[in-house]
């Protein structure tokens, strides 16, 4: 294993949507016991986008502070991961490139494999930066998780985007080699092009996740990865936050770990944002990382495990080491504002937003301003999306 790698995550910023639906409001509507949501699935609330927000506006909002802090000169690649794609051809990243006024000399592409794709983006970015340490890569994961109203999945919706700046001599996390890899052709969660909400077999998605965790861990170990006892914390993909606890217990059992593991106490930090924002698909594991870095005691020099899972399914387990001085570069106050600034919805208003469909007739449709974020989807015209800074 090359533990001297000096490529990794230099900056991390996330954004979420304009509105929030609390699980108390949802439970009052559907008669579920609140403990099922708060304890059983580990969710307090979930973000709901305004009608003039989408994965582009969320992504640009997440990435803007990164660009403002580091400038655009060294960014030569934007990798946009999403499973809430808005176009079959054009990368959502090109709109973000335009909104953030990135240099023309940039390659931009969209990546897809359910919730895993941002990790594919991160790994591709590491390779690019290793080849040319002078350049930086902006990796974005941006998603809106939507399930049908009154379905079991409804309680596990959410929306958020994460922006990672990948660079040499990173300020936050040095990413290590190797990775453990795992792919299996399975239908636990998917969304055909003609549906606006996802299809999921909940119990199958849980067992598929755990099977993938075993597979990727076995491969990680086979390729010389760290022993489980090394990790101060592990960030798991979190479609709902109790999934992180299920996964962690499963991994400990799989490795025959008898005693209490230090990463167990860190789990609460990794769920701090996801429990409030809900499922953000590609961004979810990186919000777990943000939660950990923003809330845990000093992690300087500590190894952190990262378990990325995307239904369908592809998984990757890899590790990073927390860089000395990382706390000076965190965005804890801004992240807290992302959570706190959202406006609470009544159930009726949430239902209205959920049922709102964008017009598909190619006519001119200005969208009334709803979001108070920095970017908005201002109109649809001639089948084109028009974005503007607000």
What's the min distance (Å) between Cβ of 41 and ligand COA? 5
Which residue in the set 47, 82, 84, 156 belongs to the binding site for ligand COA (CB under 6 A)? 156
Binders of ligand COA among 201-220, rule CB under 6 A?
202, 205, 209
Contact 111/121 with Cβ under 8 angstroms?
yes
> In sequence order, what E strands does 238-353 have?
303-310, 314-322, 343-344
- Closer residue to ligand COA, CB minimum distance, 61 or 113: 113
282 contacts ligand COA (rule: CB under 6 A): no
DSSP 8-state code for residue 176: P
Reply yes or no on whether 83 is catalytic. Answer: yes
- Minimum distance from residue 78 beta carbon to ligand COA (Å): 25
Query: Which CB, 19 or 209, lies closer to ligand COA?
Result: 209
> In sequence order, what DSSP letters do the residues of 189-205 get, joined into one string?
EE--TT-SS-EE-HHHH
Quick check: 33 binds ligand COA (CB under 6 A)? yes
Which of 155, 160, 272, 289 binds ligand COA (CB under 6 A)? It is 155
Mark residues 77-116: x for contact with ligand COA by CB under 6 A, - for none: ----------------------------------------
253 is a site residue for ligand COA (CB under 6 A): no
10 Å Cβ neighbour count for 356? 10
Residue 248: its H or E element: helix 242-254
Closest to ligand COA by CB, 39 or 337: 39
For 197-212, give one letter per residue: b (16+ CB within 10 A) or e: bbebbbeebbebbbbb
**38, 285, 322, 325, 380 from 138: Cα distances, Å:** 34, 17, 20, 22, 27
Nearer to ligand COA, 141 or 153 (CB): 153
Q: How far is the CB of 111 from ligand COA (least distance, A)?
A: 17
Spatial separation of the C-alpha atoms in residues 237 and 215, rounded to whole Å: 15
Query: For 79, left (φ over 0), alpha (ψ -120 to 50), or beta?
Result: beta
CA-CA distance, 157 to 159, in Å (whole number)?
7
State which residue, 116 or 387, has the beta carbon closest to ligand COA.
116
Question: What's the closest the beta carbon of residue 73 comes to ligand COA, in angstroms?
Answer: 38
Question: Which residues in the 224-243 window bind ligand COA by CB under 6 A?
Answer: 239-240
Query: Is 237 a known active-site residue?
Result: yes
Catalytic sites, residue numbers: 83, 115, 237
């Amino acid at each position: 294993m090359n533990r001297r790698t000096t490529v990794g995550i230099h900056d991390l910023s996330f954004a979420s949507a304009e509105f929030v639906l609390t699980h108390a409001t949802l439970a009052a509507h559907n008669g579920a016991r609140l403990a099922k949501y708060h304890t059983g699935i580990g969710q307090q609330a979930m973000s709901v986008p305004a009608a003039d927000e989408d994965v582009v506006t969320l992504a640009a909002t997440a990435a803007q502070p990164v660009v403002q802090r580091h400038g655009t000169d060294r960014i030569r690649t934007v990798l946009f991961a999403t499973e809430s794609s808005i176009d079959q051809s054009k990368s959502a990243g090109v709109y973000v490139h335009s909104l953030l006024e990135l240099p023309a000399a940039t390659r931009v592409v969209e990546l897809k494999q359910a919730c895993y794709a941002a990790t594919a983006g991160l790994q591709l970015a590491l390779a690019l930066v290793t080849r040319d340490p002078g350049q930086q890569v902006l990796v974005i994961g941006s998603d809106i998780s939507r399930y049908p109203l009154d379905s079991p999945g409804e309680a596990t919706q959410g929306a958020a985007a994460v922006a990672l700046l990948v660079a040499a001599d990173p300020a936050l996390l040095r990413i290590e080699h190797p990775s453990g890899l795992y792919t299996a052709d399975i239908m636990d969660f998917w969304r055909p092009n003609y549906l606006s909400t996802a299809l999921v077999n909940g119990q199958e998605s849980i067992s598929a996740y755990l099977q993938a965790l075993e597979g990727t861990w076995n491969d990680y170990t086979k390729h010389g990865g760290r022993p489980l006892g090394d990790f101060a914390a592990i960030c798991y993909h979190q479609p709902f936050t109790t999934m992180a606890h299920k996964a962690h217990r499963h991994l400990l059992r799989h490795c025959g770990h008898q005693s209490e593991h230090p990463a167990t106490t860190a789990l609460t930090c990794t769920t701090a944002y996801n429990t409030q924002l809900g499922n953000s698909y590609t961004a979810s594991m990186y919000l777990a990382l943000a939660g950990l870095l923003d809330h845990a005691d000093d992690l300087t020099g500590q190894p952190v495990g990262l378990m990325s899972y995307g239904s369908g399914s592809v998984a990757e387990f890899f590790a990073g080491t927390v860089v000395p001085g990382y706390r000076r570069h965190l965005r804890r106050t801004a992240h807290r504002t992302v959570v706190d600034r959202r406006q609470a919805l009544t159930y009726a208003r949430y239902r209205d937003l959920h049922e709102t469909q964008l017009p598909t007739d190619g006519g001119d449709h200005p969208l009334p301003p709803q979001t108070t974020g920095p970017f908005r989807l201002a109109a649809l015209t001639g089948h084109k999306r028009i974005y503007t800074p607000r």
